[in-house]
Amino acid sequence: MDGIIASQGKALAKSFPVQAPSFEIEKTPIHDIRAELDRFEDAKAECAQQLGILIDELDDESDSATIAILEFQQLMLEDTDFLDKITDMIEQEKLNCEYAVQTASDEFVSFLQNLTDNDYLRERATDVSDLSTRLLSVLLNVSTKIEEPDHPYIAIAEDIAPSRLAELDHHELRGIVLEEGSITSHCAIIATSLGIPCLVQVTGILEADTVGKLLLVDAIEGEVTIDPDDDQISAFKIYEKQREEERELFDQYAQRESRTLDGAFMGVYANIISKDEVEPLLKQGGEGVGLFRTELVYMLKTNAAPTEEEQYAEYFAVASALEQRPLIIRTLDVGGDKEIEYLHIQKEENPYLGYRAIRYCLDNPDLFKAQIAAILRAGADHNVKMMLPLITCKDEITKTKQLVKEVCIELDERGVTYDADMQIGIMMETPAAALDSARLARDVDFFSIGTNDLSQYLFAADRNNAKLLELNSFFQPTLLRAIDMIARTAHEAGIEVEICGRAGEILELVPLWIAMGIDNVSVSIPAITKVRHAICHTNKADSEKLKDAVLELDTVEEVRVMLSQYREQGGVRP
């Protein structure tokens, strides 16, 4: 079964459904109304207490979205409209409490689900069903708390409600497979932060018979295998062992210099989303942050954008933890696959080609200026640079620079210190920017090539479409020629060029980046040491000949073969 990768890795363990229990409730006449009402009162009190405990255990700041949902559920338990429906059914119709709870909640759920003009409320219907499940579990004396198995397991579910995820311990959790969910869902964010592989939108996983069976989650290729055969299991064991051995080998490269055999330098930076990642980055020997994605700073807020002060606190914390290492902060790249509810960006037919990132920010100058101010201030005593996403034309740069000017004047008036000469660079991820890179290079201080988006825009191929993987391959010779062209125009203009997309950490490609004179690659934290290992084992003069040969090729397969041979032969040119 195929799925979309929400958090990378591989795992092999027994499946464990963490789906909320579903109940077969029967409509049963009752005789003792008083007793039935008492049962309901007790269940209500017990649920309110459970929710209270869950809320207490959560962190006010980082879990505020989950807390709001749990509080809504608590208020449902005090909601006279909802409660009266239940007690009326018990008193007037003399029906059992379970049936009354289910009927009342189903009614509200279907009301929400039928709000075709309100996606937000419609999606929240699951929170109402989740509460009804909690009530029914208490009434039927079935534990709602998910008892974690005492062996390693892969959690499978339709989606995991925030309240369930909060209840789940994750000591033995090895992977997550969701029938629904999205790469920006709560669950995916948690999985990434725990370093657990997670696949979403795996159609059919719930219907498949997985009870007590082994599951192989491959969140590198985006596949799940139920009951893998011996070959697959031994392949996984080899993978696991290799990872372990590689880790030992690569760990030695954490504190080495990123220099080729013949002394050329290419920095290894990392991509991060929060200040918590700076420590692991430094441990792995990251030389800077090539891409600080600021979306999470916005996503963690539930009903309004973070203020300038809140953002400044976060950016300053990252900058000071990095000491004087470079920190490239990308301005808000909302839209596409990154949705932020309170910004209220309309759902679009083609979100990747839509109203997002710099386009949205330039239309919302107050929001944009707060972020610009926070970034400029964080640069006061640190090596901070600003990077603009999704740039297609000079006009967007000019307008942003105008806003930067305005912010500088305002900061001067407020007497706040900031970096008045901050370097401003742009993402190279659209064909328009790539084609015009020679002109754009006159207006900016650096380019950062976002290979994921560049490939999908260059080939007009959705990168989440499993049928288009070949077009989105980082071995596409056209993509490589485009990157080479961008690197050359940057150098002709005397500005730096980095790669911050996933192609930066593909080891076969590292010799090409060196040959193209890429100044630094920004990779995921776990990839820092292996990329540095690859750099240290490459000879730049040699890789230039490889590059010339590769750029003459026509197909993905030809590129793949030539690069793999080069790598296997330890960097000896083909």
Partner 1 sequence: MITRDIIVQNELGLHIRIAGTIVKEMKKFESSIMVMQDGTAHNFKNVTGVVSTNGKKGDVLTFEFDGPDEECAADAVEELFASKFGER
Listed in sequence order, the residues at least 6 apart from 380 whose beta carbon sits closer than 8 Å to its beta carbon are: 417, 418, 419
Kindly tell me the sign of the dihedral angle through the C-alpha atoms of 55, 56, 60, 62.
Answer: negative
- Residue 367 CA, chain-centre distance (Å), reads 22
HEC string of 276-291? HHHHHHHHCCCCCEEE
Listed in sequence order, the residues at least 6 apart from 88 whose beta carbon sits closer than 8 Å to its beta carbon are: none
Active site annotation includes 186 = yes
Q: Which is nearer to partner 1, 343 or 485 (CB)?
A: 343
Which one of the listed residues 47, 97, 186, 198 is annotated catalytic? Answer: 186
Q: Which phi and psi angles does 521 have, rounded to 5°?
A: -110, 140
Q: Name the pairing type of β-strands 4-7 and 198-200.
A: antiparallel
Q: Which is nearer to partner 1, 303 or 350 (CB)?
A: 303
At closest approach, how far in Å is the CB of 175 from partner 1? Answer: 30
Helix (H, G, I), strand (E, B) or coil at 11: strand
Q: Which is nearer to partner 1, 119 or 147 (CB)?
A: 119
Which one of the listed residues 97, 198, 361, 500 is annotated catalytic? Answer: 500
HEC string of 331-347? CCCCECCECCHHHCCCC
At closest approach, how far in Å is the CB of 389 from partner 1? Answer: 21
Q: d(Cα 458, Cα 456) in Å, to the nearest integer?
A: 6
Q: How many CB atoms lie within 10 A of CB 354?
A: 16
Q: Which is nearer to partner 1, 61 or 230 (CB)?
A: 61
Q: How many CB atoms lie within 10 A of CB 526?
A: 17
Q: Which residues bind partner 1 (CB under 8 A)?
A: 68-69, 71-72, 75-76, 79-82, 108, 111-112, 115, 117-118, 120-121, 124, 127, 302-305, 341-344
Q: Which is nearer to partner 1, 81 or 554 (CB)?
A: 81
Structure tokens at 349: 């037919």
Q: d(Cα 443, Cα 423) in Å, to the nearest integer?
A: 11
Q: d(Cα 291, Cα 450) in Å, to the nearest integer?
A: 10
Structure tokens at 320: 């000071």
Do residues 219 and 197 touch, judged by C-beta distance below 8 A? yes
Do residues 507 and 564 touch, judged by C-beta distance below 8 A? no
Helix (H) or strand (E) holding 5: strand 4-7
Residue type, 2: D
Do residues 188 and 200 touch, judged by C-beta distance below 8 A? yes
Q: Which is nearer to partner 1, 67 or 559 (CB)?
A: 67
Active site annotation includes 500 = yes
First CA to last CA distance, the chain: 38
At closest approach, how far in Å is the CB of 538 from partner 1? Answer: 50
Q: Which is nearer to partner 1, 75 or 194 (CB)?
A: 75
Q: Which is nearer to partner 1, 310 or 341 (CB)?
A: 341
Do residues 64 and 300 touch, judged by C-beta distance below 8 A? yes
**What are the DSSP calls for 344-359, one per residue?**
-PPP-SSGGGSS-HHH
Q: Which is nearer to partner 1, 100 or 535 (CB)?
A: 100
Phi-psi region of 285 (alpha: psi -120 to 50; beta: other; left: phi over 0): left
Phi-psi region of 248 (alpha: psi -120 to 50; beta: other; left: phi over 0): alpha
Rg (CA), the chain: 27
At closest approach, how far in Å is the CB of 74 from partner 1? Answer: 9
At closest approach, how far in Å is the CB of 423 from partner 1? Answer: 31
At closest approach, how far in Å is the CB of 292 from partner 1? Answer: 24
Q: Which is nearer to partner 1, 61 or 248 (CB)?
A: 61
Listed in sequence order, the residues at least 6 apart from 81 whose beta carbon sits closer than 8 Å to its beta carbon are: none
Q: Please list the active-site residues.
A: 186, 500
